[in-house]
Amino acid sequence: MKKALLTSTFLLIISCGESRFENKPTVENTVDNTDSSIKGSFSSRYDDNMIDKIYSELIKNDKKLSTLDDRMLKSYDHQRKILEYYNVVLDKSEDYYRDAHYQTNSITDSLLKHQLENQINMNAEKYDVKIKNVKTLISQLTTNSERINNLYTAFKIRKTLPEIEKYQNAHPLKTDSLETFIKKQNQLLNELKNLK
């Protein structure tokens, strides 16, 4: 009998709680639509990022934002392709000098070993002078990219802050269902304490 009473009380608590949990939004808002597919400059890396999800929704209805985001995507893609080419060439050269030093260490003739080390070092230094401007430009490109990324991230946050406020206002968190459920839990706790 007591087991049946507890089971029915528990089911009553669950069913009462379920109907009151949902606070329907009072107005249509962008944040509620963020479950749709995400487009945007960071979507491939941050699929669960709320800022990018909200911003993606804003893009759908704003041609200027969409154009800006497309430009950002093209800029990131273009930078990646440019750096990929330079990095391949630079990395192969570094790999070569590293391997040359490694293999020179295996030479047992000390005079030959010393001559090779000097030749490798002279060649590497000559190459470093040759690519100094390239490395400076790559550094500038990277710095500019970081600054662009910082500014665009700040822009997206500023653009989406009002949207999260609208969402919060559309979903007021009333305490009545929580309080009702806690009362029912307390009743169940008291019944459980009195079981013998």
Domain assignment present for residue 193? The answer is: no
Q: Residue 37 has what DSSP assignment?
A: P
Domain assignment present for residue 10? The answer is: no
Distance CA(191)–CA(176), nearest Å, equals 23
Distance CA(41)–CA(114), nearest Å, equals 52
Nearest to 127 by CA among 94, 100, 86: 94
pLDDT of residue 23: 52
The stretch 161-183 carries a mean pLDDT of: 93
Domain assignment present for residue 190? The answer is: no
Where do we find the tokens 């029912």? Answer: 184
Check if the beta carbon of residue 93 is closer than 8 Å to that of residue 70: no
The stretch 135-160 carries a mean pLDDT of: 97
Domain assignment present for residue 138? The answer is: yes
Domain assignment present for residue 187? The answer is: no
- pLDDT single digits (tens) 26-44: 556 677 666 544 444 444 4
The number of distinct structural domains making up the chain is: 1
Domain assignment present for residue 5? The answer is: no
Domain assignment present for residue 177? The answer is: no
Lowest mean pLDDT across 21-35, 157-171, 179-193? 21-35
Whether 152 shows a pLDDT value over 90: the answer reads: yes
Distance CA(53)–CA(164), nearest Å, equals 11
Check if the beta carbon of residue 152 is closer than 8 Å to that of residue 40: no
pLDDT of residue 143: 97
Q: Which are the contacts of 6, defined by CB distance < 8 A and separation ≥ 6? A: 188, 191, 192
Q: What average pLDDT is seen over the chain?
A: 84
* Structural domain boundaries, residue 110: 24-172
Domain assignment present for residue 154? The answer is: yes
